[in-house]
Amino acid sequence: MNAVRTLLLTLVLALLPQSVPAAVADDHAELERLLHTFLAAADARAIHESFWADDLIYTASSGERFGKAEILAGFDGTGDDDPYPPSYGAEDVTVRVMDDVAVVTFRLTADQDGQRIAEYFNTGVFRRAGDSWAAFTWQATRIPADD
């Protein structure tokens, strides 16, 4: 009887797909592209309007929670725009897709004038809306600088 079970298990495993389905691979690539596009234009209101879902819950590294409206309010022309804003990047990006929901984790880097000024661990939860993805939950944790 054990030989029959072993044979059945071997057959089942042989029939399983050996690679990530193309649609999931496409979602991984799309979400990573979306993340890098967002970070490259993070100082533009339009990118925030499309990146964040309307019901976003963002937990900042300070522990403060807010939504999309508060993020967009930051672009309402306070006049204190930094002439040399930091540039942002993503390292160690991991994308996990589960149907119409995806979790993206990465190390956010912030550089200014050639210097690393901050790093954060970020986790974003996205949902598919039609042909696009939007982040509806976000968590940022500041990584302490080495002294």
Nearest residue to 59 via CA among 125, 106, 128 = 125
**Domains defined for the chain, CATH in brackets:** 20-75+85-142 (3.10.450.50)
Nearest residue to 34 via CA among 119, 131, 143 = 131
Report the C-alpha gap between 20 and 78 in whole angstroms: 47
Read off the pLDDT of residues 23-52 as tens digits, 9 standing for 90 and up: 667 999 999 999 999 999 998 999 999 999
pTM for the structure as a whole: 0.79
Read off the pLDDT of residues 1-15 as tens digits, 9 standing for 90 and up: 555 454 344 433 444
Read off the pLDDT of residues 63-106 as tens digits, 9 standing for 90 and up: 999 999 999 998 876 555 666 789 999 999 999 999 999 999 99
